Structure 1
Amino acid sequence: MNCYDCLTRQRTSVAVAACSRCGAGLCLDHVHVAPQTVHEAAGTGLSTHTPDARRLTCGVCHEAEI
């Protein structure tokens, strides 16, 4: 798979990740890595897990979530 953002700029780069929101292939230059807290139902409340998980997104989805 190739990086979608690179292809729109007439370049070819190997994708190393896929956006967790839209599924676009991403190279290291275009992937955004952010922590994501994982919640799990536990009894009458929520429990969080440590450490945080990774959330990989493209630039468009990253900006849309801010």
Structure 2
Amino acid sequence: MNCYDCLTRQEISAAVAVCTRCGAGLCLDHAHVAPQMVHEAAGTGRSTHSHNARRLTCGVCHEAEI
């Protein structure tokens, strides 16, 4: 799979990740990494893990979330 953002610029670069929102392939230059809290059901409430997960998004989705 190739990086979608590179292909729109007539460049070819191997994708190393996939955007968690839109599914576009991303190279290292176009991947935005952000922490994401992990929650799970615990009894009648909700439990939050002490460590954050890693969340990868493309530039378009990253800007839309800010």
The percentage of aligned residue pairs carrying the same residue is 83
The match for 1:44 is 44
Q: Per-residue CA shift, 1:11-47, capped at 9, x if unaligned?
A: 0000000000000000000000000000011122210
Q: Distance in 2 between matches of 1:11 and 1:21?
A: 23
The match for 1:19 is 19
Letter aligned with residue 43 of structure 1: G
Q: Distance in 2 between matches of 1:5 and 1:40?
A: 34
Q: Distance in 2 between matches of 1:13 and 1:26?
A: 9
The match for 1:55 is 55
Give 5+ residue unaligned stretches, structure 2. Answer: none
**Number of residue pairs the alignment of both structures matches:** 66
Letter aligned with residue 53 of structure 1: A
TM-score, normalized by length of structure 2?
A: 0.95
Give 5+ residue unaligned stretches, structure 1. Answer: none
